[in-house]
């Protein structure tokens, strides 16, 4: 007789309530995986996610063939929450806004910063973020190699900043929004100068 993989193992002499058939969907699993990861990404496992759901680990494999596949889907879900601001007629200002929006995403999901940065297989969410950035950089008339370098530098700034501020109990003088804006302004001013634009035109403080 086949086992119902949605049914957790009984404990003691009683039986747990059976999960409704079909209730274990990809989104339900990802919700549980994110809740586990928020307590510390190193704690994320198929067993931990199944335990949170009241199911056996084998039930998860009906939706995700491996833990790596589950992690990739979870990280793509996070990156899919990136919300770029509407474009303006100033590509440098749009690049500032892009950088700040991306930084906010990472700050809101601090547990995901390291695994996203080291994940070798970026999903559609990462691709979309890159497309938004390259569309802005193309408006600045950067050559392909320059645009790639600029995008890589901006990612390094944001992931490095997020890792720095998340990994330590910082003195309030470090890792502030004001310090980030100073570093970002140095970056975008360099790009503006590279393209022959005015070196000034500082951004207004983020809203």
Predicted confidence (pLDDT) per residue in 58-112, tens digit: 999 999 999 999 999 999 999 999 999 999 999 999 999 999 999 999 999 999 9
In the chain, CATH 1.10.357.10 sits at 82-194
In angstroms, how far is CA 203 from the centroid of its own chain? Answer: 25
Q: What is the CATH number of domain 1-65?
A: 1.10.10
Mean pLDDT of 52-57: 92
Which of 23-27, 81-85, 163-167, 193-197 has the lowest average pLDDT?
A: 193-197
pLDDT at residue 4 tops 50: no
> Residue 203 in contact with residue 181, Cβ under 8 Å?
yes
Identify the CATH homologous superfamily for domain 82-194: Tetracycline Repressor, domain 2 (1.10.357.10)
> Residue 157 in contact with residue 99, Cβ under 8 Å?
yes
The rounded radius of gyration (Å) of the Cα atoms in the chain is: 22
Give the separation between CA 199 and CA 207, rounded to whole angstroms: 23
Which of the two residues, 164 and 71, has the higher pLDDT score? 71
> Residue 36 in contact with residue 52, Cβ under 8 Å?
yes
pLDDT of 171: 64
Q: How confident is the model at residue 165 (pLDDT cuts 50, 70, 90)?
A: confident
pLDDT at residue 14 tops 50: no
Mean pLDDT of 145-151: 95
């Amino acid at each position: 007789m086949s086992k119902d993989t949605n049914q957790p193992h009984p404990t003691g002499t009683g039986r747990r309530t059976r999960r409704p058939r079909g209730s274990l969907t990809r989104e339900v699993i990802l919700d549980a995986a994110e809740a586990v990861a928020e307590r510390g990404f190193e704690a994320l496992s198929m067993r931990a996610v199944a335990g949170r759901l009241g199911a056996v680990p084998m039930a998860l494999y009906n939706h995700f063939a491996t833990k790596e596949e589950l992690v990739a889907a979870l990280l793509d879900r996070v990156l899919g929450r990136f919300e770029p601001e509407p474009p303006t007629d100033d590509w440098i200002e749009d690049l500032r806004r892009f950088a700040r929006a991306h930084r906010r995403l990472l700050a809101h999901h601090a547990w995901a910063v390291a695994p996203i940065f080291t994940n070798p297989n970026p999903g559609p969410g990462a691709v979309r973020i890159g497309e938004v950035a390259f569309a802005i950089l193309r408006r600045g008339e950067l050559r392909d190699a320059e645009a790639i370098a600029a995008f890589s530098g901006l990612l390094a700034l944001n992931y490095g900043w997020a890792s720095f501020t998340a990994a330590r109990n910082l003195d309030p003088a470090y890792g502030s929004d004001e310090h980030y804006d100073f570093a970002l302004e140095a970056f975008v001013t360099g790009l503006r100068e590279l393209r022959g634009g005015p070196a000034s035109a500082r951004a207004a403080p983020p809203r």
